[in-house]
Chains A and B, each alone.
Chain A
Amino acid sequence: MAQVARPKTISVISVIAIVLILLAFPMLFMPSIKHMGDFVPMVLGIIITLQFVSVIGVWHMKRWGVILFIIMFTVRVVTFMYLDLMNFRFYFTVFYSLIFIAIFLRYIKRMDTNL
């Protein structure tokens, strides 16, 4: 199976995205999140995990990675707005995620459509 060559921009963005997503993981244990309800950490954890999976897809130059990233970005924004978690960190996340999406979309035509 021929691999699609990965542009350097995608490599750099993917590494940054993975680091940012892993750094968001300890957020699940924050007392403020825990106090919101028993299942809130689970929901946020699933969002973070699927974002991680989407970036791995992008790293492998798969189109599903970009689509999953956009879906999870939307879900994350809606969930955070619903949970009223709109602080500086949220706006920063929205800001860099939009930049990432723009860059991913630039290369989407070169990406593989298979799983």
Chain B
Amino acid sequence: MILALLKESVLFAWGALVANKLRTFLSLLGITIGIFAIITVFTIVDSLERNIRGSVQSLGDNVVYVMKWPWTFGPDYPWWKYMNRPVPAYKELAELQRKLKGADAMGFRIGARKTLKHLNNTVENGIVSGWSFGYGQVKTFDIAEGRYFREDEAEGGYNVAILGSTIAEGLFPNNEYPIGKTIKVAGRSCKVIGVFNKEGESMLGNSMDNQAVVPYNFARLFMDVKSENSDPFIAVKAREGVSNMQLKDELTGVMRSIRGLKPLADDNFALNETNLLSKNFDSLFDIVGIAGAIIGGFSILVGGFGIANIMFVSVRERTNLIGIQKSLGAKNYFILTQFLFEAVFLSLMGGIIGLLLIYLLTFLARGAIDMEITLTRSNIILGLTISVLIGIISGFIPAYGASQLDPVEAIRTN
């Protein structure tokens, strides 16, 4: 019986909505815009967050970076303390390999922008990275074609290169097979032995797509390894069961002894972890999310007022009908559910249209920018939930008012 009543209420509500198409469209527009605004903000924020977290993840959770500059931000950054520090050197890597007990793997990396050429094809300002062999065991990457360089190639400074997908496409257009071909890196001949999997754009700018990786001992022939411009650093991956904190403690002691620092002297190196980056981004995304929540929240409330207004008009228009229904035996809750369903339908349709618009937008965005923007399940659930709840909140007062009408007075109303 309850189901039959519900069905009847739904049909009544649907009939009222179809009868006033323009009014229905205009009143659900408020919710459409509200849901569109708030879920678009969340979709963009979530996509950016996912991209940055993916980039940070590729740097490794259990990796500590020995660098000149610490990864801290803010207005009180004492840059003057750090600017005279020496940059990490390749010879320090050998010392660390000898002395460090808590490390599973470690590597050295330098990089600079150089020109890459193959016949008539040129890639200007491509990032050329010089890796020691061990860096390949620290950094996460996938090779689509070919292989990573061997230890003897790395140690001997062989002129071999692994290309990122964008660089490979630039140097070898028309699906030409790059493996085994010779390219010029900063004017030096170099044999291509591998191509990295396409990673897509990275917010941190560390995507492998725009990089060409060569052995460090080859890269140092055309890069200034003592210059800060080459951004040299040592990456150390913790052994299983060794926490980053323990590794940092050990690294601090070993690095201080390598650099011959006196007991009271400050460290002249920074030990950075990816969670430092994550923390900074977390607070940034929280601020953007809160701003989006406030703006979107109030725009949805305004949309809700629109629906409440239309529902009051709807009740006023059908007062006579409500009186007839009640005099024929309709219960209060039947009238209540009838109007409540109407409000929820309106709001839900508005929400669904808003979500569909966002879905279309993500398709357009995929073609325009090289970053994956997806409407996630959690945002769809949030959008639908908010639509239904706003429908209930905005429709309850008029619906309850209608259910409380006196049948005699309601019938008399013109």
Contacts and interface: CB of A to CB of B under 8 A. Distances in A.
Interface string B31-73: 0000000100010010000000000000000000000000000
A28 B301 contact: no
A25 B393 CA distance: 11
B281 to A, nearest CB: 12
A22 interface: yes
Contacts of B378: 34, 38
Contacts of B95: none
22 contacts: A1-B404, A22-B393, A25-B300, A25-B301, A26-B296, A26-B297, A26-B298, A28-B385, A29-B38, A29-B297, A29-B382, A30-B290, A31-B45, A31-B293, A34-B289, A38-B382, A41-B381, A42-B381, A42-B382, A45-B385, A49-B389, A56-B396
B180 to A, nearest CB: 48
B5 interface: no
A56 B389 CA distance: 15
A32 interface: yes
Interface string B288-304: 01101110111011000
A59 to B, nearest CB: 9
B362 interface: no
B406 interface: yes
B393 A49 contact: yes
Interface residues of A, number: 24
Contact of A53 (B286, B297, B332, B392): B392
Contacts of B301: 22, 25
A49 B298 CA distance: 16
Contacts of B285: 31
Interface string A63-88: 00000000000000000000000000
A26 B377 CA distance: 20
Given A1-B406, A45-B386, A115-B332, A39 B286 contact: no
Contact of B397 (A1, A22, A39, A56): A56
B381 A39 contact: yes
A16 interface: no
Contacts of A39: 381
B400 interface: yes
A52 to B, nearest CB: 5
A25 B289 contact: no
A46 interface: yes
A110 B333 CA distance: 22
A1 B332 CA distance: 12
A25 B381 contact: no
B290 to A, nearest CB: 6
A46 B286 CA distance: 24
Contacts of B290: 30-31
Interface string B387-413: 001001100110010011010000000
Tell me the dominant secondary structure on chain B's binding face.
Answer: helix
A25 to B, nearest CB: 6
A64 to B, nearest CB: 11
Contact of B293 (A1, A30, A38, A52): A30
A52 B332 CA distance: 19
Nearest to B381: A38
Given A25-B301, A28-B293, 18 more contacts: A25-B297, A26-B293, A26-B297, A28-B297, A28-B386, A29-B296, A38-B377, A38-B378, A38-B382, A41-B381, A41-B382, A41-B385, A42-B381, A42-B385, A53-B396, A60-B404, A114-B332, A115-B332
A14 B378 CA distance: 33
Interface centre among B332, B381, B382 (most CB of A within 10 A): B382
Interface centre among B42, B289, B296, B381 (most CB of A within 10 A): B289
B392 A49 contact: yes
Contacts of A56: 396-397, 400
Given A29-B296, A38-B377, A39-B381, A45 B38 contact: no
A38 B293 CA distance: 16
Contacts of B385: 28, 41-42, 45
A28 to B, nearest CB: 7
A39 B333 CA distance: 29
Contacts of A48: 389
Contacts of A29: 38, 42, 289, 292-293, 296-297, 382
A103 to B, nearest CB: 21
A2 to B, nearest CB: 9
Interface centre among B42, B286, B400 (most CB of A within 10 A): B400
